A and B are shown apart, each in its own frame.
Chain A
Amino acid sequence: MSKRDILMEVENVSVTFGSGATAVEAVKNCSLTLNEGEPIGIVGESGSGKSTLARVMAGLQPPSAGEIRFRGDNVFKGNKSFQSGNRNQVQMVFQDPYGSLNPQLTGLSAVAEAVRIHTKVGKDESEQKALELLERMGIGKLDALKRPRQLSGGQRQRVSVARALSANPTVLLADEPTSAIDQSAQAQLLKLFLGLLNDGLAIVLVSHDLGVIRYLTKRVYVMKDGVFVESGDTETVFNDPQEDYTKMLLASIPGELGKAARAKLNR
């Protein structure tokens, strides 16, 4: 039982928007590590900077300070950077299912396109592969031929995941994937993620919902106003939160978990 290999490192990353008097520091000196096949969570409210951090990790936006490394190589600079082709390894699923798919493409076309780009196979083969991927995500052939506006939020999210997976990534960043969909669709999506974890994919789950974090992740970072206020094993943070902010987050979870946390708080 060896220690898992480190897959991604975020070292002293800060992200500042704007300049001068109106500069806003969305992320302040954050550091984290992600190991192979590991699920971690970044939890915080809106405005905590967690989405910005996720986007920086996905290589969509360079940090104002600090480094992001994938397997030891800087993600933004040098010849192993994402720009120079290492792109596929880290994929992202976004919060809004309504904007994450090209409205003009059917689910099949969108995924097949991704497959073609990453594996350089022909059209028919890519469509075959795409159908398989979509099937794994619970999207049958009939639904695969539908355009996004004919699909539910949960289905759109699953198509997005299928598209992300066609790049054969080692890391999947999910930014609030469950916030805009029904409870039952949430359950389906999380079950899917669990399956992906079992297949060896590393997942970074960004959410404001600790219930979801608790179900899926092994380690969690609690973020507030751009800073990590607490971090550790998910189970530990849940049962024995150190910071008041964490305690407050726990108390807000709907249902049984929240009740338990509130009971503890009032003791």
Chain B
Amino acid sequence: MSKKGKKVRPEGTLGIITGAGMMGAILLAGLLIPWFGKYDANEISSDQLLSPGGTHYFGTDMLGRDVFTRVFDAVFVDIGTAFAGVLIPLTVGTIVGTLLGISRNRRVNSFIGSLIDGINAFPFLIFVIALVSFLGAGLSSIILALSLVNWARYARIARTRAVVVNQQGYVEAARTLGYKPTRILFRHIIPNVSSETRAYALSDFTIVIIAVAALSFLGLGVNPPQAEWGAMIKDGANIITLAWWTAVFPGLAICWAGISVAIFSEGLTKRIGEGSQQ
């Protein structure tokens, strides 16, 4: 029975709006600034290592490129890669984990189950780094490596949840009502399993953004001259005492992206949490 009184703004809305707003802002900037900005992101000039001010809001780097433009030029690269690196494992992991959870085939269950447990046993970042080194540097390698490693984490969550969901009354009811197995799987089981994996995805996103930047920092990411936060930090780290702005601003961008997702997911949790406290 609902215990809500007059509908005042529900809890968590502030977080949802803030988080979404922050992410939206940086995405918008990533769209507009490289297009309409004064400078080209890869335009080399002789104004090297200028400190922030004047027309170069974030200063310039070693090659005279405008840091401001570069930071926002990297938005879709970094966030886009992170997005793909979460979406693919989320989808694959949820489906595989669910199928595993509802399957009665012991052999398949133990084989894939062991595979999942095996992959999960490795520390995430190290495994990804190793894979990317093996596959060769580049964004597509990063996405591939992330997918190959991360799907197992989602699959584990999905499998446990699927076992529970499968035993729930509404799934049994769907069977008695004669619904086709595909309908039961996609309309009833997966949505209720993915509520958990999607929650995990939100927190995973922050980690993946950092992982993408870290890989680039290690030189395993994009090829120059494409702007990318991790690579920018790597270049800037060497001269941090001379020109702090070359490393700090890309770092702040990573923080902004990560924090926006964190705030959003907190707000979402509060919102859902309030509703389920009956």
Q: Which residues of A contact B (CB under 8 A)?
A: 58-60, 82, 85, 87-88, 90-92, 94, 96, 99-104, 110, 113-114, 117-118, 146, 149-152, 160, 163-164, 166-167
Q: A114-B177, A163-B177 are in contact. Are A99 and B2 (CB under 8 A)?
A: no
Query: Given A85-B178, A163-B177, are A102 and B188 also a contact pair (CB < 8 Å)?
Result: yes
Q: Mark out the residues of chain B between 188 and 234 whose CB falls within 8 Å of any chain A CB in the assembled complex.
A: 188, 191-192, 195
Question: Do the beta carbons of A164 and B178 come within 8 Å of each other?
Answer: no
Query: Bound complex: CA of A94 vs CA of B167, how far in Å?
Result: 12
Which of B1, B178, B191, B276 is in CB contact (< 8 Å) with A88? Answer: B178
Mask: chain B, 159-188; 1 = CB below 8 Å from A; 0 = not: 000000000111011011111000100011
Q: How far is the CB of A105 from chain B (nearest CB, A)?
A: 8
Q: Is the CB of B178 within 8 A of A102?
A: no
Query: Closest Cβ of chain B: how far from A94's Cβ, in Å?
Result: 4
Summarize B's interface: helix, strand, loop or mixed.
helix
- Say yes or no: is B275 at the interface (Cβ < 8 Å to chain A): yes
Select which of A87, A100, A146 is within 8 A of B169 by beta carbon.
Answer: A100
Give complex CA distance A88, B178 in Å. 7
User: Interface readout for B239-278 with A: 1 if CB under 8 Å, 0 if not?
Assistant: 0000000000000000000000000000000000001101
Knowing A102-B188, A102-B192, A152-B1, the reply to whether A160 touches B173 (Cβ < 8 A) is yes
Closest to A148 in B: B170
Q: How far is the CB of B34 from chain A (nearest CB, A)?
A: 40
Q: List 27 A-B contacts (CB under 8 A).
A: A60-B172, A87-B178, A90-B176, A91-B176, A91-B177, A92-B172, A94-B172, A96-B169, A99-B168, A99-B169, A100-B168, A102-B170, A102-B191, A102-B192, A104-B191, A114-B177, A117-B177, A117-B178, A117-B183, A150-B1, A150-B2, A150-B278, A151-B1, A164-B173, A164-B176, A164-B177, A166-B177
Cβ of B187: which chain A residues have Cβ within 8 Å of it? 113
CB of A87 within 8 A of CB of B176, answer yes
Assembled-state Cα–Cα distance A151/B168 (Å) = 18
Residues of A within 8 A of B178 (CB): 82, 85, 87-88, 117-118, 167
Name 10 extra pairs, CB < 8 A, besides A104-B195, A152-B1. A60-B175, A60-B176, A82-B178, A87-B177, A88-B178, A90-B176, A101-B169, A117-B178, A149-B276, A164-B177
Given contacts A149-B276, A150-B2, A151-B1, contact A100 B170 (CB under 8 A): yes
Expressed in whole angstroms, the minimum distance between the Cβ of A202 and any Cβ of chain B is: 15
- Asked if residues A92 and B173 are in contact (CB atoms below 8 Å), the reply is yes
How far apart sit A149 and B273, CA to CA, in the bound complex (Å)? 12
Cα distance, A146 to B172, chains bound together (Å): 22
How far apart are B272's CB and chain A's nearest CB, in angstroms? 10
- The residue in chain A whose Cβ has the minimal distance to the Cβ of B278 is A149
Smallest beta-carbon distance B176→chain A, Å: 5
Q: Measured between C-beta atoms, what is the minimum distance from B178 to chain A in Å?
A: 3
How far is A160 from B173 in the complex, measured between Cα atoms in Å? 9
Complex interface: chain B residues within 8 A of A102 (CB): 170, 188, 191-192
Minimal beta-carbon separation of B269 from chain A (angstroms): 16
Q: B residues within 8 A CB of A101?
A: 169-170
Min CB distance, A176 to chain B, in Å? 12
Whether A59 pairs with B176 at a CB distance below 8 angstroms is yes
How far apart sit A102 and B183, CA to CA, in the bound complex (Å)?
13
Cα A167 to Cα B176 in complex, Å, equals: 10
What is the minimal beta-carbon distance from A112 to any residue of chain B, in angstroms?
12
Q: How far is the CB of B276 from chain A (nearest CB, A)?
A: 6
The docked-state distance in angstroms from the alpha carbon of A114 to that of B188 is 13
Cα–Cα distance between A58 and B169 once the two chains are bound (Å): 13
Q: How far is the CA of A188 from the CA of B183 in the complex (A)?
A: 32
Chain B neighbourhood of A104, CB < 8 A: 191-192, 195
Provide the bound-state CA to CA distance between A186 and B265, in Å: 40
Cross-chain contact A163 with B173 (CB below 8 angstroms): yes
Q: Which residue of A lies closest to B176 (CB)?
A: A92
Contacting residues, chain A, for B278 (C-beta < 8 A): 149-150
CB proximity of B256 to chain A, nearest CB, Å: 33
The docked-state distance in angstroms from the alpha carbon of A110 to that of B188 is 10
> Closest CB-CB distance, A121 to chain B, in whole Å?
16
Tell me the nearest residue of chain B to A110, going by C-beta: B170
A205 to chain B, nearest CB (A): 17
Tell me the bound Cα distance from A91 to B178 in angstroms.
10
- B179 / chain A contacts, CB cutoff of 8 Å: 117
Give chain A nearest CB distance to B273 CB in angstroms: 12
Q: Contact at B177–A149, with CB atoms within 8 Å?
A: no
Contact, CB under 8 Å: A149 / B275: yes
Interchain CA distance A88-B173 in the complex, whole Å: 11
Q: List the A residue with the shortest CB-CB distance to B189.
A: A102
Partner of B173, one of A59, A100, A146: A100
Bound: A91/B175 CA distance, A: 10
